[in-house]
């Protein structure tokens, strides 16, 4: 059974601080996605990483996929109130020709002005 | 935006009644998924479909059934709703590519 542990569950920080969210598993994934979800809406894709050791940057957000493709991190530099939301990681894999995804439990981030 | 519409957006129903949630997509994606989201559990896969009339169970499929008679529509049925099925239900499309989500259906079973 695939399992994806995400930490921390909750994070409340001041504007301008840096933070890192972690996503860990004992399973290997073909891809790892990070999503952000606003209240009353579905998750929206931020980034996909597919290669072990891959680093992607999206403005102040830096995403890294572990060398063994079992873990990932999201780092936010100089957080802003607009970064507030629920961040979800999701591991994807293919089995018997079908694609499945498993989600972490989420990190609820609140950035205070 | 993958053009995913979920209906209804909100529903309150009584224990023991059947309920059907609908997901409609306009992007011709082959794969469609139903997830439920609950505090402390994140998104959990209920059922998924990899083509018309091709469906399979996810990790929390008990008490749920699905049907896909057309590429664009994926229906989730709660055969006899229970209070434990109170949740927010999300439909997603994708498969081999990142998922695109609808805006969810908030279901309350009283």
Taking only the tens place, the pLDDT of each residue in B72-103 is 999 999 999 999 999 999 999 987 778 999 99
DSSP-assigned letters across all residues of chain A: ----EEE-SEEEEETT--EEEEEE-SS--SEEEEEEE-TTS--EEEEEE-STT-EEEETTEEEEE-TTSSEEEEEESS--GGG-EEEEEEEEEEETTEEEEEE---EEEEEE-
pLDDT mean over A91-113: 90
Residue A91's CATH number:
2.60.40.10
User: Quick check: helix, strand or coil at residue B62?
Assistant: coil
Contact B103 A41 (CB under 8 A): yes
Distance from the Cα of B14 to chain A's closest Cα (Å) equals 23
Q: Residue A38's closest chain B neighbor by CA?
A: B103
Total domain count for chain A? 1
Chain A interface includes B98 (CB < 8 A): yes
- Distance between CA atoms of residues B57 and B25, nearest Å: 20
Burial of A18 (0-12, 13-18, 19+ CB in 10 A): exposed
Residues 60-89 of B with CB under 8 A from A: none
| Boundaries of domain holding A90 | 5-112
Confidence of residue B2 (pLDDT cuts 50, 70, 90): low
Question: Does the pLDDT of residue B1 top 70, yes or no?
Answer: no
Which pLDDT tens digit goes with each residue over B29-43? Answer: 999 999 999 988 889
What average pLDDT does chain B have? 94
Chain A interface includes B96 (CB < 8 A): yes
Which pLDDT tens digit goes with each residue over A21-80? Answer: 999 999 999 999 999 999 999 999 999 999 999 999 999 999 999 999 999 999 999 999
Contact A99 B50 (CB under 8 A): yes
| Boundaries of domain holding B103 | 4-109
Q: Residue A105's closest chain B neighbor by CA?
A: B42
The answer to whether residues B94 and B34 touch, using CB atoms and an 8 Å cutoff, is no
Residue B87's CATH number:
2.60.40.10
Total domain count for chain B? 1
């Amino acid at each position: 059974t695939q399992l994806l542990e995400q930490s921390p569950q909750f994070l409340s920080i001041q504007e301008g601080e840096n933070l890192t969210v972690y996503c860990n598993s004992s399973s290997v994934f073909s891809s790892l996605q990070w999503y952000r979800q606003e209240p009353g809406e579905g998750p929206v894709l931020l980034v996909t990483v597919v290669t072990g050791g891959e680093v992607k940057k999206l403005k102040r957000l830096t995403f890294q996929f572990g060398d063994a493709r079992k873990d990932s991190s999201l780092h936010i530099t100089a957080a802003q109130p607009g970064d507030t939301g629920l961040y979800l990681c999701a591991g994807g894999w293919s089995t018997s020709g079908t694609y499945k995804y498993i989600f972490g439990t989420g990190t609820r981030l609140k950035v205070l002005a | 935006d993958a053009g995913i519409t979920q209906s209804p957006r909100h529903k309150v129903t009584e224990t023991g009644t059947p309920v059907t949630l609908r997901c409609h997509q306009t992007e011709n994606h082959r794969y469609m998924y139903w997830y439920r989201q609950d505090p402390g559990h994140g998104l959990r896969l209920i059922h998924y479909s990899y083509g018309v009339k091709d469906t399979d169970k996810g990790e929390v499929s008990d008490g749920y059934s699905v049907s896909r008679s057309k590429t664009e529509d994926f229906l989730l049925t709660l055969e006899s709703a229970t209070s434990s099925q109170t949740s927010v239900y999300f439909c997603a499309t994708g498969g081999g590519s990142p998922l695109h989500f609808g805006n969810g259906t908030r279901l309350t079973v009283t």
